[in-house]
Amino acid sequence: MEKTARKILCMIPARGGSKGVKRKNIRHLGGKPLIQWTIDEAKKSTYIDRIIVSTEDEEIQRVSEALEVEVFIRPRVLAQDHTPSIDVVLHVLNELKTAGYKPDLVVLLQCTSPLRKVEHIDEAFSILIQNINNTDGIASITREEHPPWWMKRVDEKGYLIDFLEDKENIFTRRQDFPDVYRLNGAIYIIKTEELYSKRSFITDKTMAYTMDAKSSIDIDTKEDFQLAELYARLLDR
């Protein structure tokens, strides 16, 4: 694949706090900090020409700089549990714009998807660029094993309520349902002007890039870490 002439910025958000797993972004997985899995693959990309880690944490800053990537220190107000990723990305973009740099495309790679390979990243870029005039961006997905038609809610009295009001499909066999997918959080790519306009990586003109379930693991708990260790060995990472 030939490198595009477009300016492509990779954003890796990594805050120091974490409720599910303490200090997870620099916790070691397979012998290296979790954040390094994402940085290593981003640096291999044919398309990405600038990588920036956004953090408020000094230790994450040191680890990232040791891996020879740029670090932007974000305000602590943008490092809270409820802080949307879009606010973190726009903070960096606005700082860069002030300095005279505006990328054509932005790719968001989250540290919690350590088994996402450079092949996934560049395949997603390839699909997007082939369709660049007809789409705003592309996002990675994986097939959802459990049909949403079987999902339930529990009311205030403890009774089951259908999550989807679709009585006809409640007793349909799993293999008879149409394929459904979920965002796996591994790759988001979007045109910069659309990101500013929509304030989201997902628009009504976002394409899909499908990944397998093992590569799509998203680390949020200690059990996820253990599973990622197993998958990393199975995938020969």
pLDDT (tens digit per residue) in 46-105: 999 999 999 999 999 999 999 999 999 988 787 777 778 899 999 999 999 999 999 999
Average pLDDT over residues 163-192: 80
Contact 31, 114 (CB under 8 A): no
Q: Are residues 172 and 209 in the same domain?
A: no
Q: Are residues 81 and 166 in the same domain?
A: no
Domain that holds residue 161: 145-179
Q: Which two tokens stand for residue 173?
A: 């066999």
Cα dihedral sign, 228-233-234-237? positive
Q: Are residues 136 and 149 in the same domain?
A: no
How many domains does the chain divide into? 2
